[in-house]
């Protein structure tokens, strides 16, 4: 009986290994560079698209390898221009990505997922109600950027300007694959996007924030803070019990001192929970430890949580207090709420 060749995703193979493969079949090493260009610069999803390779070579590649590209499953468009796309992975699991266009600021941002589901169980987040199934591999994250970039070009006539790792999952718990995806996205022989236009958002894992600093990653860092004292943060973010604010501030300061990369706090305003002047004063204290900007975010209700969004008056008063204390503040109005595409709403709902 003939042995069946188990096909490996060619995107999980490093260049040196691919060079060895081409030599083993009697071809030239430089073919690996050609294939890498098709995969990581042009983002192709099939060997047939590699038109500078001979038909016979493409057939050989097809016999030995596969390209496990993500596939568009469902697209929803919001009245405000936001587009949410559900993608199916090669093993049948689903993830979501969100395109957030702000044409007046010339900003076109993709919010990418890094895990199938999430293990952190933040009480206000729909994704946190899903169990974590697995980490996405680097190519699956890369695919989201390539496909949403094409969507952006087709819809708005403009390429993506920014990437935020703020979709499904905790990026720092998929650390190796997230960093590899950033490398591919930012490399000159990849998509060549500036890492300064990439932001990793974390619920707060002190050890991994320090690892980011030690690895000299040039991206921006956003901490999903949402409460400026441990008692409140413990209530809504169980991860705070192992990564309290003192540990997080020390890690964030370490990150800033080593990288000088931009840091922001994400702060969802919940009615009568974290939107008082006392909360604002505590937040100011956390803003004086290193340079940081604060993004105050409207809460987007989900079925499984009892929180309500803070009133506009309270949010504005909160923001004004921070501004008076020389804190850089942006109030973010929710985008894509009508299609469950806003912060905390990604849950693969039909």
Tell me the catalytic residues: 96, 343
**Beta-carbon contacts of residue 48 (< 8 Å; ≥ 6 apart):** 58
DSSP-derived letter for residue 77 is E
Q: What is the strand order of the sheet 328-332 is part of? A: 71-77, 83-88, 94-102, 107-111, 162-165, 198-202, 220-224, 263-269, 293-298, 328-332
Bridge partners of 137, per DSSP, are none
For residue 322, the SS3 value is helix
Angle, vertex CA 212, rays to CA 322 and CA 343, nearest 5: 50
Query: Hey, what are 219's tokens?
Result: 């991206």
DSSP-derived letter for residue 12 is G
Exposed, middle or buried by CB within 10 Å (0-12, 13-18, 19+), for 188?
A: exposed
Reference 296, options 265, 325, 342, 335; nearest CA is 265
**Beta-carbon contacts of residue 318 (< 8 Å; ≥ 6 apart):** 269, 275, 277, 279, 280, 296, 310
Query: Hey, what are 221's tokens?
Result: 């860092």
Bridge partners of 332, per DSSP, are 297
Checking phi first, is residue 285 left (phi over 0); if not, alpha (psi -120 to 50) or beta? alpha
DSSP-derived letter for residue 285 is H
């Amino acid at each position: 009986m003939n042995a069946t060749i188990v096909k490996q995703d060619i995107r999980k193979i490093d260049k040196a290994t691919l060079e060895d493969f081409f030599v083993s079949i009697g071809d030239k090493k430089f073919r690996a560079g050609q294939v890498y260009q098709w995969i990581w610069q042009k983002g192709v999803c099939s060997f047939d698209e590699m038109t500078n390779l001979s038909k016979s070579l493409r057939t050989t590649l097809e016999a030995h390898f596969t390209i496990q590209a993500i596939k568009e499953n469902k697209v929803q468009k919001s009245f405000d221009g936001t587009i949410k796309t559900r993608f199916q992975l090669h093993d049948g699991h689903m993830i979501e990505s969100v395109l957030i266009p702000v044409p007046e600021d010339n900003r076109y941002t993709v919010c990418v997922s890094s895990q199938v589901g999430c293990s952190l169980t933040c009480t206000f987040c729909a994704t946190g109600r899903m169990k974590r199934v697995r980490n996405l591999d680097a190519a699956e994250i890369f695919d989201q950027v390539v496909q949403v970039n094409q969507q952006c070009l087709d819809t708005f006539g403009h390429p993506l300007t920014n990437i935020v790792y703020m979709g499904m999952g905790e990026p720092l718990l998929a650390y190796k694959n997230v960093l590899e995806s950033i490398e591919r996205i930012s490399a000159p022989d990849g998509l060549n996007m500036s890492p300064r236009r990439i932001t990793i958002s974390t619920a707060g894992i002190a050890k991994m924030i320090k690892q980011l600093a030690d690895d000299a990653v040039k991206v921006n860092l956003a901490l999903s803070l949402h409460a400026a004292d441990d008692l409140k943060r413990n209530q809504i973010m169980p991860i705070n019990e192992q990564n309290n604010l003192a540990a997080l501030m020390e890690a964030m300061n370490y990150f800033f001192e080593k990288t000088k990369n931009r840091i922001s706090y994400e702060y969802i305003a919940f009615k009568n929970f974290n939107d008082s002047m006392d909360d604002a004063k505590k937040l100011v204290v956390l803003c004086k430890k290193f340079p940081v900007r604060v993004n105050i975010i409207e809460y987007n209700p989900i079925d499984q949580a009892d929180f309500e969004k803070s009133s506009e008056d309270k949010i504005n008063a909160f923001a004004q207090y921070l501004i008076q204390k020389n804190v850089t503040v942006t109030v973010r109005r929710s985008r894509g709420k009508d299609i469950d595409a806003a912060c905390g709403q990604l849950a693969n709902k039909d």
